[in-house]
Chains A and B, each alone.
Chain A
Amino acid sequence: MRNSNYLKMALSILLHSKIRSWLTIIGIVIGVGAVVGIMSLSENMQKDMEERLSEMDLTAITISPGSSRAMMSMGPGGGGGGGSSASSEDTNLTKKDIMALKSVDGIQYMYGQISGQEDVYFLGEEAELSITGVDPQVWQYSTTDTVESGRLLEPSDNYVAVIGSGVAEDVFDNEVGLNQVLTIAGKSVRVVGILESEGGSGDNSIIMPIDAAVTLIEDAEPDVFDTIVVKAESMDIAENVSAEIEEKLMLSRHVTEKDQDFSVSTSASMVETASEMMESMTLFLAAIAGVSLVVGAVGIANTMFTSVMEKTREIGTMKAIGATNKDILMIFMMNSALVGFVGGILGVIVGSMVTALFPLLGMQMMGGSVSVGLSPTLTAFGLSIAVAVGVISGVVPAFQASRMKPVDALRYE
């Protein structure tokens, strides 16, 4: 028999199969959907990560109190991001720490930074916003933020602020413009600059000179910092500088690696942590996908066994009128592959719907916007997996069908 005839036979069986037998393809639909979704997710996140990496300041090193390793606060040195504000109660970073680091080689500059959530009033409206206090001497050089209008902070600044685009446009009913005044903790703070949108949490924060911010943020004390931002002289030495900082601070703070009460992380290491996290998530999803594919394969195999049973007499008839074992084998294998193919199409549709949902599932927390849509390669890949699963599941039932003795098959009631 010709291949086109196998396909025709397999299609006719498929088109006339019962709805009940279609239910068993759900497994493969989910499996392929998961595979395609995962791959599309990690593809997009990879792209996003690379993009952010390229605009990130890789010379930045962040020191935070508390022993927890690099928190997921992206954008260190970006100024707008703010640090981990309440990571630890009784350990603080202070001026003393900055002094201790003066002797470390390769540091371009460093400054302490504080942050907190405060109620901000504007034209009678109120909103709780993140306030970051930075060193106005150096922040303008260290930040990767750019102003949309106005200017960055200057050394002589006091009760003035640079605000994120979200604060300017979205937080209050009235747009906050340059030179308008916000009220924070009873003080008037004039807006001198509005930042370009970055699409992250930084859009909703307010950046002020640290001396002014200390008086506005509850619990904040002079010379006590939430974060110390260090800028290495070049990106190549950032890791070394970071290691030396860690050493120096352990000495000056009288701690060992075991009871270390601070953490030092470079931008690069944060990116690494993020991608590690992404990897383990991908692995978890891949496991789900694998299990669904196995369940899908068993489902199809089950359907095929039932179908072969139900068609015993037809198999006998086909053999009587000249079908060889190979013909029967091919017809049922083709049928099984087609079932897989249909499951694959549905799976790819499900996968692209899931991909479309990612942005709604809070994936922005990982940063910028995750783009939507499946690539043609991924679609082809999903379909190939589905067909492969169909073929594998069909092997045993199809073989069983092909080996039926014509006489027995014809007698089957």
Chain B
Amino acid sequence: MSDNFAEGSNKDTNSSSLLKLEDVWKIYQMGETEFAALKGIDLTISKGEFVIILGPSGSGKSTLMNLLGCLDIPSKGTVFLNGKDISHLGESELATIRGQMIGFIFQQFNLIPTLNTIENVMLPLEFQNADPSSAKKKAAELLDLVGLSEKARNLPSQLSGGQRQRVAIARSLAVDPDIILADEPTGNLDSKTGTYILDFLYDLHKKEGKTIIIVTHDVTLVRYAERVVHIRDGLVESIEERQNN
């Protein structure tokens, strides 16, 4: 069903727009009071872009990221994926979209602690009912790509932070998604490892044309980006186009 989303269609004027947010609000209800974490965001991300969303803590970056990643739906406004409105979809349809089109990388790595490295990488394929032997083959290739073939049987707890994040990258690539979303991917890593991770993602973007969206408050990462979206208090403050290499 999500092929509809993958292939894109009709309606949207800009054919290259992959994700489009129109006047998106996210309002959290906390007992009596309401809190607007996003207050009317307009943002378009095109296929094959490398975008960094930058902003101070509490500005609403992760909230925005959840909407871009189809993990949540807006309180108000519309989110388009490949030209199709996904703002009102149910959880199972969103799960299918996420499972087939989006790869996630988290600050805390979020590997499944009871599964070993290769099983973690296979997991997104298993959720898509992939054939076990081809899933295993694909996972082994991806582990090789991130240089962790010899750790295939190790549990996450037996890996360093940088190694865990490389496993997480391999996992995010398992279903060959169009979009890679990373929330503070270098937040728990030293600068050398962080650089390795960013270089790796940049390579993917250059060689395979993946759309990469990184959320961070680390300004040193902007050098990788083609576009930097500055967020403050739930609003887009400015968008900075960069000439890269």
Contacts and interface: CB of A to CB of B under 8 A. Distances in A.
Interface in A366-413: 405-407, 410
A202 B50 CA distance: 96
A322 B112 contact: no
Interface residues of A, number: 28
B91 A1 contact: no
Given A321-B99, A321-B124, A410-B71, A16 B113 contact: yes
A407 B66 contact: yes
A12 B100 contact: no
Interface residues of B, number: 32
Contact of A320 (B104, B111, B126, B132): B104
B129 A320 contact: no
B15 interface: no
B176 to A, nearest CB: 13
B59 to A, nearest CB: 16
Contacts of A324: 91-92, 95-96, 127
Interface in A306-330: 313-314, 316-327
Given A4-B132, A12-B115, A320 B98 contact: yes
A405 to B, nearest CB: 8
Contact of B126 (A1, A12, A325): A1
Max chain B Cβ within 10 angstroms of own Cβ: one of A316, A318, A407: A407
B110 A322 contact: no
B95 to A, nearest CB: 5
A326 B126 CA distance: 13
B69 interface: yes
A369 to B, nearest CB: 49
A8 to B, nearest CB: 8
A314 B113 contact: yes
Interface string B88-131: 00011001101110011010101111110001000110111100
B113 A325 contact: no
A407 B71 contact: yes
B81 to A, nearest CB: 15
B112 A407 contact: no
B179 to A, nearest CB: 13
Contacts of B106: 317, 410
Nearest to B92: A324
A317 B112 contact: yes
B72 interface: yes
Contact of B92 (A314, A317, A325): A325
A316 B106 CA distance: 12
Contacts of B72: 405-407
B96 A320 contact: no
A5 interface: yes
Interface string A165-184: 00000000000000000000
B175 interface: yes
A1 B95 contact: no
B171 interface: yes
Nearest to A15: B114
A258 interface: no
Contacts of B127: 1, 318, 321-324, 327
Contacts of B99: 321-323
A254 interface: no
Interface in B162-193: 171-172, 175
Given A15-B114, A324-B95, A405-B72, 6 more contacts: A8-B119, A314-B112, A321-B124, A322-B98, A322-B127, A410-B110
Interface of A: 1-2, 4-5, 8-9, 12-13, 15-16, 313-314, 316-327, 405-407, 410
